[in-house]
A and B are shown apart, each in its own frame.
Chain A
Amino acid sequence: QQQVKQSPQSLIVQKGGISIINCAYENTAFDYFPWYQQFPGKGPALLIAIRPDVSEKKEGRFTISFNKSAKQFSLHIMDSQPGDSATYFCAASKAAGNKLTFGGGTRVLVKP
């Protein structure tokens, strides 16, 4: 059972454009939603995370939007750069459990 669904599977964006990745979850007990960035041959790196008591969180060019009633959250990458080309994973976990449930990933390619 896939508890976190991520879309699209892949994305091509021009340099300077906006990349948008969406995730939907099923388990209402989830209350921590991180995004990870992974380059080929590397482990996932924590990018930004949000808890459901806020609807938006911004860190630099990365913004998470959260819709608790719809059980959806998204990552926006503003002013996309070629160095942002990577695979992005959304994830979710319960308060104290620490077990992360990941989405299937989105491969982002930023064209110069």
Chain B
Amino acid sequence: ETGVTQSPTHLIKTRGQQVTLRCSSQSGHNTVSWYQQALGQGPQFIFQYYREEENGRGNFPPRFSGLQFPNYSSELNVNALELDDSALYLCASSLLGLVNEQYFGPGTRLTVT
């Protein structure tokens, strides 16, 4: 059984640029959730994808968007990057409907300068 993987590990971008982060879900899981974790804080829910459709969204602007693919992997896209977008971006996979257990990947550290 493979765990959740994310790429890249680290990323440095300039304000105004766009970024794409990637996540491969754990084997057998059909749901991917994305979280933003600012330094010293708890993760904040961005959105969740189930069967390639957005299935819930947190309090994040539309410049945060995502995709889920038929193999359940997912992308997080952020447009018009702002300095406050600097954070650890976490992907979590789960099996929707049966259990609520979410398993997190190692995260992508995004720095916006």
A93 near B100: Cβ-Cβ < 8 Å = yes
Known: A95-B100, A102-B42, A104-B42. 12 other contacts (CB 8 A): A34-B102, A41-B106, A42-B106, A43-B105, A43-B106, A44-B90, A45-B104, A49-B101, A99-B56, A100-B35, A100-B45, A104-B41
Asked if B68 is at the interface of the complex by the 8 Å CB criterion, the answer is no
B96 near A44: Cβ-Cβ < 8 Å = no
Which residue of A36, A41, A96 contacts B97 across the interface (Cβ within 8 Å)? A96
**B92 cross-chain contacts in A, Cβ below 8 A:** 100
Which residues from 27 to 73 on chain B have a C-beta closer than 8 Å to any C-beta of chain A? 31, 33, 35, 40-45, 48, 56, 58
- Listed by A's residue number, 13 A-B pairs whose Cβ atoms lie within 8 Å are A6-B42, A36-B104, A41-B106, A43-B4, A43-B104, A44-B90, A44-B104, A89-B42, A89-B43, A97-B56, A99-B45, A99-B48, A101-B45
A31 nearest in chain B by CB position: B100
B41 nearest in chain A by CB position: A104
Q: How far is the CA of A79 from the CA of B1 in the complex (A)?
A: 31
A100 near B43: Cβ-Cβ < 8 Å = yes
- A79-105 Cβ-contact flags toward B at 8 Å (1 or 0): 000000000010101011111111111
Asked if A54 is at the interface of the complex by the 8 Å CB criterion, the answer is no
**B41 cross-chain contacts in A, Cβ below 8 A:** 104-105
A47 vs chain B, min Cβ distance (A): 11
Asked if A62 is at the interface of the complex by the 8 Å CB criterion, the answer is no
- B3-35 Cβ-contact flags toward A at 8 Å (1 or 0): 010100000000000000000000000010101
**A41 cross-chain contacts in B, Cβ below 8 A:** 106
**A43 cross-chain contacts in B, Cβ below 8 A:** 4, 6, 90, 104-107
Which residue of A49, A91, A98, A103 contacts B96 across the interface (Cβ within 8 Å)? A98
A43 nearest in chain B by CB position: B104
A98 near B94: Cβ-Cβ < 8 Å = yes
